[in-house]
């Protein structure tokens, strides 16, 4: 009898140990990553980085995860080439790990997120309610996600007003909703018209053809963002 109890205790301890090494449970309590289900309605104008963060926070709150601090995965360009006033998306989102509403880990840390180890794809890039987002095979396609970032999560070079050789890659640092300007997007479904790495990048695939919703949608987007919990 004593041996049976001992074996049972060891087995339970093993289960607890395994669970302790896994991610948090699925649902609002454990969610730390999502794709926004909607754009606030102004295309690339979120009211700057602060406004984009508020959008993430509001959607997370609606989903029951508002007790965490949420940030939009967005970079901002400096006003001039040699200015230090740029912001890297990778520096805004905490240290990880991050998981979706179903409890699936999409990256363990910032380095993994910006490497081949990340697990962002059409099955894991869910919205704040745990629902799939329209990928490239669905209509309307919403696979373009605004990031304003290079593949390593850093900002593009800045220049006064944008323009060649330093074009606007952030819709005026997320304050434009006009036909002018553009913003770099990534493909959450890792799919494009060709199989080149840039075409299948989750965070840096191609720029939009404008900053209004009417100019964001033609390439396959809906003005959506990636949101990450900082803590």
Express each pLDDT in 2-17 by its tens digit: 443 333 433 433 333 3
- Give the span between the Cα atoms of 27 and 21, in whole angstroms: 18
Burial of 88 (0-12, 13-18, 19+ CB in 10 A): middle
Proportion of the chain above pLDDT 70, given as a percent: 87
Segment 102-111 mean pLDDT: 98
| Domain regions of the chain by residue span | 27-229
Residue 30: is its pLDDT beyond 50?
yes
- State residue 196's pLDDT score: 87
- State residue 23's pLDDT score: 53
Cα 103 to Cα 57, 123, 128, 157, 216, distances in angstroms: 19, 12, 12, 36, 31
State in words which class domain 27-229 has: alpha beta
Task: Provide the b/e sequence for 90-105 (b: ≥16 CB within 10 Å).
Answer: bebbbebbbbbbebeb
- Give the span between the Cα atoms of 71 and 176, in whole angstroms: 19
- Give the span between the Cα atoms of 152 and 149, in whole angstroms: 8
Band of pLDDT at residue 50, cut at 50, 70 and 90: very high
Q: Find the angle CA(108)-CA(114)-CA(117) to the nearest 5 degrees.
A: 55
- State residue 12's pLDDT score: 38
Q: pLDDT tens, 157-177?
A: 987 666 667 899 999 999 999
Band of pLDDT at residue 121, cut at 50, 70 and 90: very high
Proportion of the chain above pLDDT 90, given as a percent: 77
């Amino acid at each position: 009898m004593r041996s049976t109890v001992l074996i049972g205790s060891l087995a339970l301890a093993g289960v607890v140990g395994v669970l302790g090494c896994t991610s948090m449970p699925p649902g609002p309590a454990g969610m730390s990553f999502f794709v926004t289900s909607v754009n606030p309605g102004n295309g690339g104008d979120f009211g700057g980085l602060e406004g984009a963060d508020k959008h993430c926070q509001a959607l997370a709150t609606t989903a029951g995860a508002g007790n965490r601090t949420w940030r939009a995965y967005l970079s901002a360009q400096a006003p001039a080439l040699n200015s230090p006033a740029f912001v890297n998306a990778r520096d805004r989102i905490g240290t990880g790990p991050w998981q979706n509403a179903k409890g699936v880990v999409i990256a363990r840390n910032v380095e993994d997120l910006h490497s081949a180890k990340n697990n962002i794809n059409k099955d894991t890039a869910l919205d704040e309610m745990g629902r799939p987002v329209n990928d490239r095979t669905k209509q309307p396609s919403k696979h373009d996600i605004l990031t304003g970032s290079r593949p390593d999560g850093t900002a593009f070079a800045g220049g006064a007003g944008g323009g060649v050789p330093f074009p606007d890659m952030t819709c005026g640092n997320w304050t434009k909703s006009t036909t002018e300007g553009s913003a770099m997007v990534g493909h959450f479904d890792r799919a494009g018209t060709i199989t080149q790495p840039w075409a299948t990048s989750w965070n840096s695939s191609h720029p939009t053809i404008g900053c209004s919703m009417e100019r964001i949608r033609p390439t396959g987007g809906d003005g959506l963002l990636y949101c990450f919990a900082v803590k």
